[in-house]
Structure 1
Amino acid sequence: MQTFRTEIENPVVEKDIIDLANKIELFHKGKIDEEKFRSLRLARGVYGQRQEGVQMIRIKLPYGKVKSNQLRRVSDVSDEYSRGRLHITTRQDIQIHYVDLNRTPELWAELEKDDVTLREACGNTVRNITASELAGIDINEPFDVSPYADAMFRFFLRNPICQEMGRKFKVSFSSSDDDTGLSYMHDLGFIAKIENGVRGFKVMIGGGLGSQPREADVLYDFIPTDKIIPTMEGVVRVFDRYGERKSRAKARMKFLIKDVGLDAFIELVEAEQNAIELKTVAIDADVYPVSKPVSVEAPQVAIKDQKAFELWKSTNLIPQKQDGYVAIGIKVLLGDFYTDKARLLADLVEKYAAGEIRLSLRQNIVIPFVKEDLVPFFYTELEKLGLVEVGYNKAVDITACPGTDTCNLGIASSTGIADELERVLKAEYPQYLTKDDLVIKISGCMNACGQHNMANIGFQGMSVRTPDKLVAPALQVLLGGENLKNGKGAFADKVVKVPSKRGPEALRRILNDFEANANGKTFYEYYQVTGERYFYDLLNDLQDVTNLTQDDFIDWGTNEEYVKEIGVGECAGVVIDLIATLFFESEEKIENATVSFDNKVYSSAIYHAYSSMVNSAKALLIAENKSTNTHAGIISQFDELFVESGKINLGVSFSELIYQINKNAPTEAFASKYIESANLFLDKVRTYRSPKPLKGAK
């Protein structure tokens, strides 16, 4: 292996980065299969891009909080390793594109110098934990959810129970019943509550978007704050064991809840508490680093255009619960901004606010803790940066994923049509600059990274085929989504599919009808009265593909003729099913178990050993051409095929052996015994497979 130095003080982080560098080298030498390597790099924030030979790097920024030094560090990294552009995602991350794979370990090491990580930003892991961007300053919040989101992030980062799940797992925190964290569309969502003077959360489970959106169920109406981590640990353990692994389309939490039923799922979660070391985890919000605004005298400034300033204040200032302060919302077109502006913004908030920004779920920026008398000064400074566009979180503030710009799964351009629709709104519907009860969102494919199916008006990238079999870019038009608050939501109906170049006309018809007939209703209320058929009839003629022009075959934002190209999706990693690789992984997991045991982290040691046994059993089942959909399925099939038939003698059933994990507390004695069982099990299955050492085995 090549020597790679990180100069990182944290030995755990340093080992992680060095391991990535070593795995990249093994991949280049053909020692690691491409699919297996994909799984490994995704869990470290390295995501394949539509353009060959470069990577998208996703930077994990819990609940969207970015300190000034961190923003400068991210900017430096983007300049050094990419092209100076930063993209804010709908999960409060920052992505940079066009990065050389071989440079990702040093890029990661640079970020960690300011406590910024890539770890588990992609892949089959617990993704970035999001929260209301106004957490801590929200005038409606019962308390600040930031310390609890932060504790959750730190507890599950690198936690062995969530490193190789069947699919990704998304968590959100909402500051209040307004549910601005969108709990209803998350695998696990927490809404802040106070009952009898006790802080806690309403817990939602099993929500999701994608091709089959599902509204979350209520897992618990209220649990105190010290139960949120054990609750999530139980949920993740059950998801890891029973979640689908073969069919990615059915591998999310929402499908597991649907299959087993909510009551049965709750029973599994509560039974799992036997194996959880900490029955309560107290989170001391008082030790969480609170934002501290600076105290400075307001510089005198001259506002050049008072009318523009007043309009900006009416749409971009956000009330704050702390007296004397407001927050400023910065509308970031399509979530893209550049490092030169980012550095100047970091300097501005460090000197005149609280030294931080928040990234929002709508791909924007919030500056908290701006003294009211500093608002004119901030306006003039932001104006110099081109960051005073009006309409923060208003109808003109359209959310869009990168689509065909960089994403492998993009079918049609989402950024191009978003740009055009914003132009239409500003030019033809100026009243929507200040309207905040209409939400428009766009995704480039059905995976809904742009959250199109929870918008009032949504567009999804598709393609359409003409009678003579020519293919043109298209948009599915969806209507009627809404955040109904307190964990409730409505998902949009698919109404019509139109060629992309007719997207603006579809929007015009929808808005013109709404303006003429809504009579003061919100769009959601109006849609509930009119319904899907009404708008189908209004838009139906736009679906006609017998009369397309040459322009219809050119997507928004490009001059080239449209070609439908869909690559391999990397929204979650695909684990390679090579037998030798699985045995090798089992050894690594036992080594990890031993390290955790030596460090007295017995719960982690036990889970590493459990993962090793499942891995080893999976290897033999695959050798027999058996399907391996879930951990629970692997365990029962192994018993049936190998133990009950007498082919392998374990002394007990495999189920009895492995399911000790959820029947015993994570003590030192049990951890030692369980690791020994994993070692013996690996020896038995390896011997059964071949008495000779397998390639890759030690």
Structure 2
Amino acid sequence: MQSFRSEIENPVVEKDILELERKISLFKEGKIDEERFRSLRLARGVYGQRQLGVQMIRIKLPYGKVSSEQLHRIADVSDEYSRGRLHITTRQDIQIHYVSLDRTPELWAQLEKDDITLREACGNAVRNVTASETAGIDINEPFDVSPYAHATFEFFLRNPICQEMGRKFKMSFSATDEDTAISFMHDLGFIAKTKTIGGKTIKGFKVLLAGGLGSQPRHADVMYEFLEADLLIPTIEGVLRVFDRYGERSKRAKARLKFLVKDLGLDQFLTLVETERKALAYQSYSIDTSKFEQEITFETLEAPSVSIEDERAYEEWKQANVIKQKQEGLYAVGVKVHLGDFYTDKARLLADLIKKYAANELRFTLRQNILIRHVREEFLPFFYVELQKLGFTEVGYNSTADITACPGTDTCNLGISSSTGIAAELERVFKTEYPEYLNNKEVTIKISGCMNACGQHNMAHIGFQGMSVKVGNLLAPALQVLIGGGIVGNGEGRFSDKLVKIPSKRGPEALRILLNDFEDNKEEDEDFLAYYDRNGKTYFYDILKHLSDTTNLKEDDFIDWGHDKNYVKAIGVGECAGVVIDLIATLLFESEEKLENATQAFKEKQWSDSIYHGYSAIVNTAKALLTSEGKKTNTQAGIIKNFDEVFVETKKIELTTSFSELVYQINKNQPTEAFASKYLQEAKAFYTTIDAYRKVVVES
């Protein structure tokens, strides 16, 4: 694994990869406990999968943007370290499966050759920043949100304020009021807006705060109706600092931002954000958009001559899958990717196609598809012929029959029933029985294998959630049917109502009942949501209720879609260190690492980063001592308060001030060199005090 070192030009990246390599060795030697190792590898895109001994690797691709060179690199890595399959996620990432843990540092190093990272693709950090795939080409957009999404990705990547939060943090940028990046279900969602002030057009965003899906979906609050673009980064940093300090850490199910904002109330949360303002490195942060405003260039100027064998099919494809761009004479081509899965042989040919005949850019979409950008009108027949050779001209891009589904029980540890299996069957039903929906973009169908909603089932017009149902001594795979969710627009959305749980094999029949009733009983020009609202939840429960009867199940009902054996409810088993670790010693060891990071950041004159690393070291050190006493450490704010009560006020630990006064200097001082130096020295002194105290306690 050492060979990659000389190939990495960025020393920060090299250090990161070497650290992963070192921690893998320590884990296998039993020197790091499973929980600590899991946190580290997740922050580096390495995710345990359902099958023992292999990992899922998530490749972080900001707003889904990929060049030909990057797609070739991803394909090469998948062939070398995995099985040649690429999976597009609902956050515009790429996942590859069945990777050996030992080879992950080498894999990462290979990706970095084309500026592709795994860093913070998983774990309790800022996840991939998503955006409307049509950003930059949308006829209706006030401006391109791509540079703002990119700047957000870059600013918070490896940023010390968001490395070890209580839970993950998700952000999205929508190009227009259609809100195709689904702002209302994000921790922070941004919708492009402009405002005229003194005759000058100002760029900004409507800001949505603390939305989320999962078992308890929450609609985001409006944080600001209009936030000027230069305040974007400082605002995000303020929110992240408050979440890091006050967010739940022990009770995982309550650790998302939505629960913190619900508990505090919006006004109190915003007050805490304002309190952090003085500590920020930037009160205003101007984002350079010039790289995204460069002239679009092409390698090939003349369109190759082709013959279209089926003109009708070609016209249907253009109507369903081709989007007119705001740039004159240019079009985007949508590729419907079944369940988000495609293979490296086709990926390479697609990469060559966009480099030579388009403008060398595609974007993976939130619907698990591909959008090829900047195709000249005269090149559309050629693209149709070439994409047809790859099987990439199936109509239905972003249509009702274009079903979103998470991996479910295929590879996910948390999957309860098969998402991909039922999705494939429902798509077959559309093709054979409801062809009129192959280009219908008014109804969305989404499927998740469990309550966590990776497939976004609880914000779909029609959603299915994987479950199980007990029948005597047997278990059968089941689906919760949900109806009535969707995107309203301008930051408004709806969550689906849960209707009824049915055996999975009855999923297609449930779909038929709903579609038939809609077609038979809808009023003129009535869309699906209006039809649902007019009839009400009870009406739909009544027409589906008979499908929940389990007294008449057949043998086939106990076999999940895509399987040939009886269903077994099984949650995947994660890695195990196999030894008992001294948790307190591990926490103190981590504090030492944080102090080293603070020292290094100070040497590099990164005052704000140094201060935050020092803050993390102080809190982590206090957590170690509180843990040794069996005290609660649910939140950083709670740790600060409890340490004063347990150790300082009782005189067990002698400090020159209260612990809270020591810690909260962080939001009462500007991030200057002088304060960074002072805070670093105090963090080191505190660690020395606690380490000495701990040694006395252990020896006695």
Question: TM-score normalized by structure 2?
Answer: 0.97
Letter in 2 for 1:199: K
Per the alignment, residue 200 of structure 1 pairs with 204
Per the alignment, residue 126 of structure 1 pairs with 126
Per the alignment, residue 578 of structure 2 pairs with none
| 1:226 and 2:230 are equivalent in the alignment | yes
Letter in 1 for 2:498: K
Structure 2 CA distance for aligned equivalents of residues 170 and 341 of structure 1? 30
8 Å Cα contact 1:409/1:569 also seen in 2:
no
| CA spacing shift, 1:456–1:382, aligned 2, 3 Å | same
Structure 2 CA distance for aligned equivalents of residues 150 and 539 of structure 1? 45
Letter in 2 for 1:598: K
Q: Percent identical across equivalent pairs?
A: 68
8 Å Cα contact 2:230/2:287 also seen in 1:
yes
| CA spacing shift, 1:290–1:412, aligned 2, 3 Å | farther
C-alpha distance after superposition, 1:389-424 (max 9, x if no partner): 110001110000000000000000000000000000
State the Cα distance separating 1:434 from its structure 2 match: 1.4
8 Å Cα contact 2:617/2:683 also seen in 1:
yes
Shifted more, 646-655 versus 293-302: the winner is: 293-302
| 1:284 and 2:324 are equivalent in the alignment | no
State the Cα distance separating 1:288 from its structure 2 match: 3.8
| CA spacing shift, 1:253–1:624, aligned 2, 3 Å | same
Per the alignment, residue 149 of structure 1 pairs with 149
Letter in 1 for 2:312: K
Letter in 2 for 1:285: T
Per the alignment, residue 8 of structure 2 pairs with 8
Per the alignment, residue 437 of structure 1 pairs with 442
Structure 1 CA distance for aligned equivalents of residues 172 and 294 of structure 2? 20
Per the alignment, residue 663 of structure 1 pairs with 668
Find the residue that maps to 1:690 and give its secondary structure: helix
8 Å Cα contact 1:6/1:14 also seen in 2:
no
Per the alignment, residue 47 of structure 2 pairs with 47
Structure 1 CA distance for aligned equivalents of residues 540 and 533 of structure 2? 11
| 1:238 and 2:242 are equivalent in the alignment | yes
| 1:105 and 2:105 are equivalent in the alignment | yes
Letter in 1 for 2:278: N
8 Å Cα contact 1:4/1:21 also seen in 2:
no
| 1:265 and 2:269 are equivalent in the alignment | yes
Per the alignment, residue 573 of structure 1 pairs with none
| 1:368 and 2:373 are equivalent in the alignment | yes
Find the residue that maps to 2:416 and give its secondary structure: coil
State the Cα distance separating 1:482 from its structure 2 match: 1.1
Per the alignment, residue 679 of structure 1 pairs with 684
Structure 1 CA distance for aligned equivalents of residues 74 and 486 of structure 2? 34
Select the residue among 511, 515, 533 that pairs with 1:511: 515
Find the residue that maps to 1:691 and give its secondary structure: helix
Per the alignment, residue 70 of structure 1 pairs with 70
State the Cα distance separating 1:4 from its structure 2 match: 6.1
1:114-513 → structure 2 map (5 Å cutoff): 114-196=114-196, 197-288=201-292, 290=294, 292-294=296-298, 296-466=301-471, 468-513=472-517
Structure 1 CA distance for aligned equivalents of residues 203 and 14 of structure 2? 37
Letter in 2 for 1:277: A
Letter in 2 for 1:298: A
State the Cα distance separating 1:690 from its structure 2 match: 1.9
Structure 2 CA distance for aligned equivalents of residues 380 and 609 of structure 1? 59
C-alpha distance after superposition, 1:357-391 (max 9, x if no partner): 10000000000111111111100000000111110
Structure 2 CA distance for aligned equivalents of residues 626 and 325 of structure 1? 62
8 Å Cα contact 2:49/2:572 also seen in 1:
no
Structure 2 CA distance for aligned equivalents of residues 580 and 3 of structure 1? 33
Structure 2 residues not aligned, in runs of 5+: 576-580
Structure 2 CA distance for aligned equivalents of residues 291 and 544 of structure 1? 61
State the Cα distance separating 1:289 from its structure 2 match: 6.7
Structure 1 CA distance for aligned equivalents of residues 30 and 328 of structure 2? 61
Find the residue that maps to 1:527 and give its secondary structure: helix
Structure 2 CA distance for aligned equivalents of residues 354 and 673 of structure 1? 51
Q: How many residues align?
A: 688
C-alpha distance after superposition, 1:192-228 (max 9, x if no partner): 0000110011110000000001110011111111100
Structure 1 residues not aligned, in runs of 5+: 571-575
| 1:610 and 2:604 are equivalent in the alignment | no
C-alpha distance after superposition, 1:39-62 (max 9, x if no partner): 100000000010000000000000
| CA spacing shift, 1:104–1:671, aligned 2, 3 Å | same
Structure 1 CA distance for aligned equivalents of residues 340 and 301 of structure 2? 30
| CA spacing shift, 1:665–1:513, aligned 2, 3 Å | same
Structure 1 CA distance for aligned equivalents of residues 698 and 628 of structure 2? 16
Select the residue among 577, 601, 604 that pairs with 2:606: 601
State the Cα distance separating 1:567 from its structure 2 match: 2.9
Per the alignment, residue 565 of structure 1 pairs with 570
Structure 2 CA distance for aligned equivalents of residues 6 and 17 of structure 1? 12
Letter in 2 for 1:62: P
Letter in 1 for 2:99: V
| CA spacing shift, 1:582–1:113, aligned 2, 3 Å | same
8 Å Cα contact 1:6/1:109 also seen in 2:
no
Find the residue that maps to 1:639 and give its secondary structure: helix
8 Å Cα contact 1:409/1:568 also seen in 2:
no
Find the residue that maps to 2:498 and give its secondary structure: strand
8 Å Cα contact 1:291/1:354 also seen in 2:
no
C-alpha distance after superposition, 1:442-464 (max 9, x if no partner): 00000000000010000000000
State the Cα distance separating 1:469 from its structure 2 match: 3.0
State the Cα distance separating 1:566 from its structure 2 match: 1.3
Structure 2 CA distance for aligned equivalents of residues 569 and 383 of structure 1? 41
State the Cα distance separating 1:312 from its structure 2 match: 1.0
Structure 2 CA distance for aligned equivalents of residues 325 and 216 of structure 1? 35
State the Cα distance separating 1:290 from its structure 2 match: 4.2
8 Å Cα contact 2:475/2:569 also seen in 1:
yes
8 Å Cα contact 1:137/1:320 also seen in 2:
yes
Structure 1 CA distance for aligned equivalents of residues 51 and 297 of structure 2? 43
Letter in 2 for 1:162: C
State the Cα distance separating 1:693 from its structure 2 match: 8.8
State the Cα distance separating 1:308 from its structure 2 match: 1.3
State the Cα distance separating 1:691 from its structure 2 match: 2.8
Question: TM-score normalized by structure 1?
Answer: 0.97
State the Cα distance separating 1:5 from its structure 2 match: 2.4
8 Å Cα contact 1:577/1:619 also seen in 2:
no
